[in-house]
Amino acid sequence: MVMSDTIQKVFLSTNYKRGIQYISIGTAIMLALSYACYDIFWLPPRRIRHIPHWKYTNFFIKTFFRKASLQEKIKQSADIRDGLNLRPDRIGWTIHVSSPSGVKTILSKPDVFVKAFNKADNKKTIYERFVGGNNLLLSEGEDYKRLKKVTNITVNPAFRRPVPIQLFGRMTQRTLQEIDQMGGKQVDMTDLCNRLTLDILGKAVFDFNFDATGDPHNEWTHVYKSIMESMSNKLFYYLPFLDQGKWLWLFPKRYQAHQNLTKFLNMLSEMISNKRQTIAANHEEGTRNDLLSLMIDSELNEEVDGLTDEEIMENLCIFFFAGHETTANAVAFIIYNLAKDQERQEQARQEVLHHLGDAPEDILPTLEDAMKLTFINQIMKETMRMYGPVSGISPRITTEDTFIDGAFIPKDTFVSVSIFRLHHNEKVWKSHNEFIPERFSPEGEFDQFTNEGIQWAPFGSGRRQCIGMNFSLFEQKVVLAMLLRKYTWTLPEDSIHKENVVTSGIITVCPKELRINFERRY
């Protein structure tokens, strides 16, 4: 009996010890696994962890749950050291650069910092289906060279000088009529500018009248609007796996947006083949000015390989994506700035009246008129500094080990320029939160900068600079000149933007529902 008790005790204590051992080993494995998960999923890869970085949790909480105003975001940006900041992004951990020297390094070395978007990988989400093709914005290498050659022939006449200034004027006139029809009160200028630039682009890109200004609820405007809205949905932007076939049944609205995109792409495809037929039937060359006709015409040019229908479509899409909301948002932000700064609004008006006269009728500015509007030019530049309609350039990937501002950046790292933070970098811009157009006057603050860095880049810079820059600048000028001649405007008393501008959007940023009160001058 005594003997068996002793054996039992020994046995129990051995089991107990073993149990403790198992628990300890299990706990150690759990801890190691948790740490590995934390290390892999929560922190940036070790090879770039020396760059100041956000924590994944912080990023997601700030992105999805906290509605920071633009001014708060600017404050957050002040925390970022050295102009380099690493954060999780749609394509993975990405270094966002906002120092003039760092920005110059990236934009002046397009062979080291190449476009990172992998077009072949994923053509299932709305974003990739619409803009992920072999297009001018995202392609690289030989593909890009070929596209650039074609667009040098087509875009130059369609989008550079001479820009279709009469078209800008005619379309703006319809917007003025709509403001009048609404009685000028509480006019949603975010929406109106969006519709105006859509109509302009529709005509310039493929000679199509969306009629978004005359009939905002028509089918094509509705379809296009739903695509654009779906592109700025944060959930699907940051978690693209949800935006694909097997998950879509969970999101009926998203499913509908996919259907609308299919409809839009079919319409483009039909338009391309119709245009081909018309061009073949008419034979006359040089009389067509829309981008689509010029792209088809370029096939006759022996110096370039013509584009396939698919390539033409992918590039038409990118012209819409890059050229529509960007200009609309730029104009909306200018209207906001001038509503808040009545003195400069009047100064701008006097400049327009000086060059276009004060007759009580709409005057469509000519190219020569537009070029004389120097103060308005400063207002446009300053507004694009404060509220760049594009928050950053499309991501690049490094093709070799390199350095930005002395920090080591290994090969295969994603890098982008944060245009927004560059333009609010306190080390560069005095009183960066204030609207001071005179910064861009001759010998103003901007003129004093050295060319050791790039301080202002709403359109990017270098080899991949925006191809529609001139088009957009003249479009903005015409719209503003015509608005200034016809109206004075203010923010309504109950405006949500009274203190600070409230914005929305991810890639392109706009003032949210900017309501304006207009007073007619004639």
If one asks whether residue 318 binds ligand HEM (CB under 6 A), the answer comes out as: yes
Q: Determine the Cα–Cα distance for residues 177 and 50; give it in Å rounded to an integer.
A: 57
Judged by CB under 6 A, which stretch of 125-133, 175-183, 403-411, 466-474 contacts ligand HEM?
466-474
If one asks whether residue 100 binds ligand HEM (CB under 6 A), the answer comes out as: no
DSSP output for 260-303: HHHHHHHHHHHHHHHHHHHHHHH---S---SHHHHHHHGGG-TT
If one asks whether residue 132 binds ligand HEM (CB under 6 A), the answer comes out as: no
Nearer to ligand HEM, 349 or 423 (CB): 423
> Taking a C-beta distance cutoff of 8 angstroms, is the pair 312, 136 a contact?
no
Is residue 423 within a helix (H) or strand (E), and if so which, with residue range? helix 419-423
Residue nearest to ligand HEM (CB): 468
If one asks whether residue 119 binds ligand HEM (CB under 6 A), the answer comes out as: no
Angle between helices 252-282 and 309-323 (to 10 degrees): 120
Nearer to ligand HEM, 508 or 517 (CB): 508
Judged by CB under 6 A, which stretch of 185-193, 315-323, 351-359, 363-371 contacts ligand HEM?
315-323
Q: Determine the Cα–Cα distance for residues 489 and 517; give it in Å rounded to an integer.
A: 6
If one asks whether residue 467 binds ligand HEM (CB under 6 A), the answer comes out as: yes
Q: Is the dihedral of CA 77, 78, 81, 84 positive or negative?
A: positive
If one asks whether residue 103 binds ligand HEM (CB under 6 A), the answer comes out as: no
The CA dihedral of 28, 29, 35, 39, to the nearest 10 degrees, is 150
Backbone phi, then psi, for 260, in 5-degree steps? -65, -40
Of residues 179, 322, 386, 482, which one binds ligand HEM by CB under 6 A?
Answer: 322
* Residue 52 burial (C-beta neighbours within 10 Å; 0-12, 13-18, 19+): middle
Nearer to ligand HEM, 159 or 168 (CB): 159
Judged by CB under 6 A, which stretch of 13-21, 23-31, 119-127, 323-331 contacts ligand HEM?
323-331
Helix (H, G, I), strand (E, B) or coil at 218: coil
Binding mask 379-418 for ligand HEM (x = CB under 6 A): ----------xx--xx------------------------
Amino acid at residue number 276:
R
Q: Determine the Cα–Cα distance for residues 465 and 394; give it in Å rounded to an integer.
A: 11
Binding to ligand HEM (CB under 6 A) within 159-178 occurs at 159
Of residues 464, 477, 486, 515, which one binds ligand HEM by CB under 6 A?
Answer: 464
> Which residue reads 């892999």 in tokens?
40
Of residues 168, 224, 264, 319, which one binds ligand HEM by CB under 6 A?
Answer: 319
Length of the chain: 522
Closest CA to 490 of 330, 340, 390: 340
Q: How many residues sit in the footprint of ligand HEM (CB under 6 A)?
A: 23
Of residues 86, 313, 370, 466, which one binds ligand HEM by CB under 6 A?
Answer: 466
> Taking a C-beta distance cutoff of 8 angstroms, is the pair 110, 462 a contact?
yes
If one asks whether residue 454 binds ligand HEM (CB under 6 A), the answer comes out as: no
If one asks whether residue 130 binds ligand HEM (CB under 6 A), the answer comes out as: no
If one asks whether residue 511 binds ligand HEM (CB under 6 A), the answer comes out as: no
If one asks whether residue 460 binds ligand HEM (CB under 6 A), the answer comes out as: yes
At its nearest, how many Å lie between ligand HEM and the CB of residue 380?
Answer: 9
> Taking a C-beta distance cutoff of 8 angstroms, is the pair 42, 59 a contact?
no
If one asks whether residue 472 binds ligand HEM (CB under 6 A), the answer comes out as: yes
At its nearest, how many Å lie between ligand HEM and the CB of residue 28?
Answer: 47
**Tokens standing for 231?**
């592109």
Binding mask 328-367 for ligand HEM (x = CB under 6 A): --x-------------------------------------
Q: Determine the Cα–Cα distance for residues 286 and 397; give it in Å rounded to an integer.
A: 40
Strand order in the sheet with 396-398: 84-89, 92-97, 414-417, 396-398, 113-115
Q: If you ran DSSP here, which 8-state letter would residue 64 be given?
A: I
Binding mask 476-505 for ligand HEM (x = CB under 6 A): ------------------------------
If one asks whether residue 133 binds ligand HEM (CB under 6 A), the answer comes out as: no
- Which residues in this chain contact ligand HEM in the complex, by CB under 6 A? 136-137, 159, 318-319, 322-323, 326-327, 330, 389-390, 393-394, 458-460, 464, 466-468, 471-472
